[in-house]
Structure 1
Amino acid sequence: MLYVYVGKFMSNECPKTYIKDSDAAFNSLYKKDWLDFWAEYLIKNIDKSDLLSNGFISSPYLGTISVEDISGTAKTLIMMKNIHGVVYNGDCIGDNGWEALLVLSKHYDIAMSLSYCPNIERWPNNSIVTFLNDSSKIYSAKEFLIKLLGLDNDSGEFHDFYSIIWPIKLVNPYPDIDF
């Protein structure tokens, strides 16, 4: 299930269980076994590149690149499959990653904050999003857009991370790393 809290947090007041910077977190935490079928799918469909057998990526735009050079969207979605018990900054997922996110959330509980309105082109069947702001469940892209626009996410106010009742058990799997 995908759990979304609409709003921004003061990043310096958030616990280490909040991944605010997916690029930095991925580059610090990445493990080779993350380069599985899911990573290959994301790199192919989001970054329009190919995962090579040696862990490098063949990009039509950049040539051969390191896994640290893939898009923030792909990095975030790869981490969401591999690191659980944290809250992600959903602003790190571009419009082209939402279909994959909804598919992944059918298999894993994912919690995230969101402060922008994504353009979700395809809504996979049986996908459900729970908005933590009011506990409503959403079943379509149209409902998602209507709900998101109805919530006050443009006020510029920052919210208290600790005031949210997160429906997942938050665990800091890397207490010595701040991302």
Structure 2
Amino acid sequence: MRLGSGLSLSREPVSLGAVVTAVVDEIEAASPSARIVLKDGANTVGQWDRAKLSRLVMNLLRNAVQYGDPEQAIQVVLDESDGNARLRIENAGDPIPADVLSQIFEPMTRGDADVQRRGTNLGLGLFICRQIVDAHGGNISVRSDATGTHFLVLLPC
């Protein structure tokens, strides 16, 4: 992907709400202690690649479960504005350090040693998320502060 070949998509009419609901169900089955609150404010359908969107949501939610405060629920909010689907995933927990946050969508990027001990990932999940969003012509952003970590995905419908 970094060599410019891009990510191929199999576009079809896809309900983002259905994709997110399926992934939330899968995460909750695999991690029974995870608490995920889905606030679906729109039945947004777009020309997207269902499998790639599923991977996007899975990567973001796995990170929220892995790095978030296990005592707090993860918030997933779907809505639509100006022809864009918006997906927000928010979790409470320690903020991501600024030096990590500035390169979080780069491959092989992980947090400090304590965060790295929590899992054996390679640091590719958020890089893959950015590639999926870019291939769909969208945007992904993150902010992290004392209130938690907030990912926002915008996808043109």
TM-score scaled to structure 2, two decimals?
A: 0.26
Instruction: Name the structure with the higher strand share.
Output: 2
TM-score scaled to structure 1, two decimals?
A: 0.24
